[in-house]
Amino acid sequence: MFAIRLDNPERFALVLLLILVPSLARAERLPLRTYTTADGLAHNVINRIVRDSRGFLWFCTEEGLSRFDGYTFTNYGVSEGLPHPTVNDLLQTRSGDYWVATGGGLVRFNPKGVPGSRVIYAHDPPLSAPLAPMFTVVIPGVADRQSKHVTELFEGHDGTIWCGTFKGLFRLTQKDAQARLLPVDIGLRSDYAEQALISSLLEDRFGTLWIGTYSGLYRRWADGSLAQYGAKDGLAETIHTLLEDRRGALWVGTRSNGLFHFNITPEHSPPVLLRNYSTKDGLGTYWIFDLYESADGRLWVGTNRGFCELSLNDAGEVAQLRAYTKGNGLSYQEIACLAEDRDGNLWLGTNNNGAQKLARPGFTTFDERDGLSNVNSLFESNAGELYAHGYVFGDQRASVFEGGKLDLLNPNFMPYRRLGRFDNERFTWFVPAALQRIGLKHASLKADFEKLA
């Protein structure tokens, strides 16, 4: 290993003589750790990740609920009283109560209760002596399979708990220790059953409720008035997720039309479309599963081909967009949900292979999969630019950064000495214009360079 002092122009020029043409972009390795059933997770299909007021992470899975304390998982399933193995959402209210959205009804969860469940129908009279089971199931009075399947939970500013189901919107009311689920008509289309599915709920800063469905986007004002937005407003009909960012802008993730950015006002007027982000903008796909805003103000987008990181400027516009895929180390390409733990780590829930924790800030690895064999030294220029000197892989024709084939199973690969400049994302391998004019045929200078190594 050696270090290069850049205050000596002649030596710096000497070192660069063996550098060839610019390289291709690399695929950075993210600092990820995967958690699956092998680590104690209830199931590898993750529908939602929720952080509660105590800092616990709750994983809503296809085989129950998993609580993660930073070290181990504690699981709650049908054997503990859940009415259905599928858990779609968890809500901790401002008063500290836990509610769980399952495929078999809305469930009140008492972590200190006795394992087992009690079913309450909307028409049941109040109980004279409240029991303390771990799970209490609340089912609408006219219950069928679709209305019992709860998909979304949201607590409004006034304490109202809203429930999305396969069969529309419901409101939870509680009086005299009796919980009831009441249907709320928002004018959902009914050409086919899927149109009544509620996929996302959001209350904006004006106190109006936004409802994402498979038949468009709906808005309900406090006075009960309604509006529906769809293709006529430039928006896709199948809505997967909604987010209001800290600036008050509305973001809508869709199944087939990418990500929409809207400006909204309290008036009964349609939202103003600011921009529609798609593959042309670097999303990599049109299918958006989830949206999340982290504590540092960045937006994270879960898609069916990885996830994206959006950095916003002071005006709330996207200043930079990065897409990450399996090539960056993801265990599975479909990122169904996103959350952040109390340490600032981002959690990615997948549709097939558990959850992954992305350490932020953390280390990014550059290795053989990027065509890098080894690094001999790192140094910084007078301008503060970071450089690396080392060897990269290639075939007998050229390095991988010049079109050569990367084949790590081939013992006859060729190592090439290179210098790379880091731009905070990737290394770029280049030949300065001055050295290109000199050429690479000066044998004595090449020998001096080998001695320096």
- Res 121: pLDDT: 59
- Res 368: pLDDT: 66
Alpha-carbon distance 321 to 402, whole Å?
27
Q: How many whole angstroms from its chain centre is CA 328? A: 14
- Res 228: pLDDT: 94
CA-wise closest residue to 169 among 208, 199, 129:
199
Whether residue 363 has pLDDT greater than 60: no
Cβ-Cβ contacts under 8 Å for 439 (sequence gap 6 or more)? none
Whether residue 403 has pLDDT greater than 80: no
Q: Quickly state the pLDDT bin for 33 (edges 50, 70, 90).
A: very high
Please name the amino acid found at residue 220: R
Per-residue model confidence as pLDDT tens digits over 365-393 = 666 656 677 788 887 787 778 888 777 77
SS3 319: strand
- Res 234: pLDDT: 78
Q: Quickly state the pLDDT bin for 447 (edges 50, 70, 90).
A: very low
Tokens coding 283:
């999303």
The strand ranges marked E within 36-149 are 46-51, 57-61, 64-68, 73-76, 87-92, 98-102, 105-109, 114-121, 133-139
- Find the mean pLDDT for residues 404-430: 68
- Res 393: pLDDT: 76
- Find the mean pLDDT for residues 254-278: 94
What ranges do the domains of the chain cover? Answer: 9-26+366-452, 32-358
- Res 163: pLDDT: 97
Please name the amino acid found at residue 237: E
Q: Contacts by 346-350 with C-beta closer than 8 Å and gap 24+?
A: 346/292, 346/294, 346/300, 347/49, 347/57, 348/32, 348/302, 348/307, 349/46, 349/47, 349/48, 349/49, 349/59, 349/302, 350/44, 350/45, 350/46
pTM tops 0.85: no
* Cβ pair 171, 182 in contact under 8 A: yes
- Res 94: pLDDT: 95
Alpha-carbon distance 201 to 170, whole Å?
11
- Res 279: pLDDT: 93
- Res 432: pLDDT: 54
- Among the ranges given (48-62, 94-108, 375-389, 412-426), the one the predictor scored with the smallest mean pLDDT: 412-426
Q: How many whole angstroms from its chain centre is CA 418? A: 36
CA-wise closest residue to 244 among 204, 194, 272, 279:
204
Per-residue model confidence as pLDDT tens digits over 162-186 = 999 999 999 999 876 678 899 999 9
Q: Quickly state the pLDDT bin for 15 (edges 50, 70, 90).
A: very low
Per-residue model confidence as pLDDT tens digits over 215-256 = 999 999 999 999 999 888 878 789 999 999 999 999 999 999
**Average pLDDT taken over every residue of the chain:** 83
- Res 407: pLDDT: 64
- Res 396: pLDDT: 67
SS3 227: strand
Give CA separation, 358 vs 34, 39, 330, in Å: 9, 17, 10
- Res 417: pLDDT: 76
| CATH of 32-358 among 3.40.50.1820, 3.40.50.620, 3.30.2350.10, 2.130.10.10 | 2.130.10.10
Whether residue 49 has pLDDT greater than 50: yes
* Cβ pair 339, 51 in contact under 8 A: yes
Tokens coding 22:
């610019």
114-121 and 133-139 strand pairing:
parallel
**DSSP secondary structure letters along 234-297:** T--S-EEEEEE-TTS-EEEEESSS-EEEEE--SSSSPPEEEEEE-GGGT-S-S-EEEEEE-TTS
* Cβ pair 283, 323 in contact under 8 A: yes
Count of Cβ atoms closer than 10 Å to residue 58 Cβ: 25
- Res 444: pLDDT: 46
- Res 179: pLDDT: 84
Give CA separation, 71 vs 33, 74, 212, in Å: 13, 10, 35
Per-residue model confidence as pLDDT tens digits over 96-132 = 999 999 999 999 999 888 887 776 655 555 444 455 7
First to last CA, the chain: 7
Whether residue 419 has pLDDT greater than 90: no
209-213 and 198-203 strand pairing:
antiparallel
- Res 60: pLDDT: 98
Which secondary structure element, helix H or strand E, spans residue 180, and what is its range? Answer: strand 178-184
Whether residue 310 has pLDDT greater than 90: yes
218 CB-contact burial (10 Å; exposed 0-12 / middle 13-18 / buried 19+): buried
- Res 36: pLDDT: 97
- Find the mean pLDDT for residues 323-335: 94
Tokens coding 176:
């005299």
Whether residue 449 has pLDDT greater than 50: no
